[in-house]
Amino acid sequence: MQNRTEGFEDFVAGHAAALLRLAYLLTGDRGHAEDLLQDALERAYRHWPRVVAADRPDAYVRRVLIHAVTDRFRRRRYAEVQLTSYADRATVDITGDIDLRDSLVRGLRALPLGQRTVVVLRHCLDLSEAETAEMVGCSVGTVKSQTSRGLARLRELLGDVDSTTPQPILRSSL
Amino acid sequence: MKDIESALRSLPDSIDLEPRPDLIASVRRTHRHRSLRRRSAVAGVALATLGIVTVPTMLRNDDGGTVNPGASQGAQGAVDGTVTKQSLDAALAALATSPGAGEPRPTGTFAYTHSRTRYLAMTGAGGGNDASQPSPSDVPTENAEKSPSAGAETLLPDQQQVSFTYLYGTERHIWLDKLSGGHLVSKPLAPKFLNPGDDAIYRKAIGEEHGMDLALDNGGQPVNVPNLSFDASALPSDPAAMRQYLQDVPSGVDDVNERVFTAAADLVREHILPHKVRSTILRALLLVPDVSVVEGVADLDGRAGIGIGRIERGTTLRQLILDAEGTVLGERDSVAVAGEFGPVGTVIGHTAVLEAGFVDKVGDTPSGRPIAISSQGAGKEMR
């Protein structure tokens, strides 16, 4: 057993934080992000020899995480799709960066899941279209169209991001 | 000036989140509790919000499905309309000893299943989070068409208490081999909505569904497919022992009978099992006191068979549907006590296994009709 999971702890130490941030971007919810990370890591742990045999173990686990989000979104019966949670929302901070970050996170959450996923992978994680397609399990064409729709929608929602002025739509409920 | 792209690029670094210190320990703990993969698939709906309801003492017959009368032959030994647990048990016992039973799973070939599924998905509030109070005008009513203004420019999901329910559908092709992993091709079917007006919310919140085309490893899969990492021949061969085995499968479910039903469904769903093993699993189910059998239950494809079912958590009738040979045609979940999802009989989960058999390679099917596989996901990264 010791051998079978060798390297798992190092992997977690090296990659858990990045995976957690990805989970947060995909869900916009801290609690869900933590659950998803644990879920994805447990799946990876279960099949650790295969994970370490992959070209990029981190990409492998990232993909597991992405599908865990989709799974959760669809299959969990209740309370898993927190489209509405403000529980972990930071209190209003007028300083620019935090405000911008919150606006972006909320903007992402307002996107349909498919668009959100490809936008996060392409633009937050800087993956190529091909890498994104492989990770999501769809065609490059779908990645292109979903990304461009997602970005257009984000622009619509956020307006210009050059200003630290709070965005009326996104702040209306705070 | 920052554009959206560069703002997004710097977004991950601006998120101040650290994994919990006990992460590794809790992963290991969870792992110990999940030695056998548990699918939530056509799992009944845990309606904590419905509170306590009366548990009917008798299973209701279906009144919602399309039944193709010609397809119902009854199991061996079962007379139309009068199938009982005893008669079904006898038929299944006979099946286990029939010629050809106990065939081993060929290695080096792929077990292929083609199925169609509809599962319940529900979005929205309910997690006990202290959501901010949205202004009344922003809250979609139960029937969203009454407040079309909630659409247009207002952000839908993020700012409102949105709750909607639908059945999402997939057409699934799965190839699995114990040694080399496999492949999943899943195509979306048009969703079905339980409440009028939910389609508009769906389009905003979920949008386009694009399906999946993924290489799988054996159980380390990122999606829900059967687990092959058990040895069917090592399962108990006696129904009572099998029942005990199923009951002991870790699942986090308190109800013993529900554990047995769920574990059994997980084993027979989208699996090709030797007759003897399948027979023993199904006979173990018949030993569960609150399980009943009824004829004329239709699967998602309209084929009627014998339903082995139980009412789960007082609210949902879950049924496994068998044909005359004891093969699992599919599953059906329906409302057993009128409530949130509609009147009794409303279907809230439905599947049909359309084809199953062994083939030589991913993309092949027993009927000879090839299924296109994207080169992208084919085996890469998984080996």
Which tens digits make up the pLDDT trace of B23-53? 988 888 777 755 333 333 232 222 222 111 2
| Mean pLDDT, all residues of chain B | 70
**Binning pLDDT at 50, 70 and 90, where does residue B298 land?**
very high
Residue of chain A with shortest Cα separation from B17: A21
Question: In chain B, pLDDT over 90 holds for what percent of residues?
Answer: 24
A50/B382 Cβ within 8 A: yes
B381/A87 Cβ within 8 A: no
What was the pLDDT predicted at B202? 74
Q: Is the pLDDT assigned to residue B354 strictly greater than 50?
A: yes
What was the pLDDT predicted at B88? 92
A109/B157 Cβ within 8 A: yes
What was the pLDDT predicted at A170? 34
The whole-angstrom distance between B186's CA and the closest CA on chain A is 10
Q: Which two tokens stand for residue A27?
A: 């869900």
Task: Please tell me which residue, A166 or B137, carries the higher pLDDT value.
Answer: A166
Burial A155-170 (b: 16+ CB within 10 A, else e): eebbbebeeeebbebb
B162/A12 Cβ within 8 A: no
Instruction: State how far the Cα of A159 lies from the Cα of B215, in Å rounded to an integer.
Output: 39
Long-range contacts of B78-87 (CB under 8 A, 24+ apart): B78/B295, B78/B306, B80/B295, B81/B295, B81/B296, B83/B293, B83/B294, B83/B295, B83/B306, B84/B293, B85/B286, B85/B291, B85/B292, B85/B293
**Binning pLDDT at 50, 70 and 90, where does residue B72 land?**
very low
Instruction: State how far the Cα of B299 lies from the Cα of A45, in Å rounded to an integer.
Output: 36
Instruction: State how far the Cα of B281 lies from the Cα of B84, in Å rounded to an integer.
Output: 17
- Name chain A contacts of B137, Cβ cutoff 8 Å: none
Q: Is the pLDDT assigned to residue A43 strictly greater than 90?
A: no
Is the ipTM here above 0.90?
no
What was the pLDDT predicted at B206? 67
Only one residue has tokens 């389609």, namely B199
Q: Is the pLDDT assigned to residue A23 strictly greater than 60?
A: yes
Instruction: Give the Cα-Cα-Cα angle A111, A115, A118 (nearest 5 degrees).
Output: 130
What was the pLDDT predicted at A24? 92
Residue of chain A with shortest Cα separation from B220: A47
Residue of chain A with shortest Cα separation from B132: A86
Contact criterion met (CB below 8 Å) for B288 and B264: no
Q: Which two tokens stand for residue B339?
A: 């409530």
A60/B381 Cβ within 8 A: yes
Contact criterion met (CB below 8 Å) for B168 and B119: yes
| B324-343: average pLDDT | 88
B129/A86 Cβ within 8 A: yes
What was the pLDDT predicted at A164? 43
Which helix (H) or strand (E) covers residue B170, if one does? Answer: strand B164-177
Q: Which residues contact B143 (CB under 8 A, 6 or more apart)?
A: B195, B196, B197
Q: Which of B20, B155, B374 sits opposite A157 (nearest CB)?
A: B155
φ, ψ at B253 (rounded to 5°): -95, 135
- Name chain A contacts of B160, Cβ cutoff 8 Å: 84
Residue of chain A with shortest Cα separation from B135: A173
Q: What is the pTM of this model?
A: 0.59
With CA atoms as reference, report the closest residue to A45 among B176, B380, B32, B177.
Answer: B32
**Binning pLDDT at 50, 70 and 90, where does residue A161 land?**
low
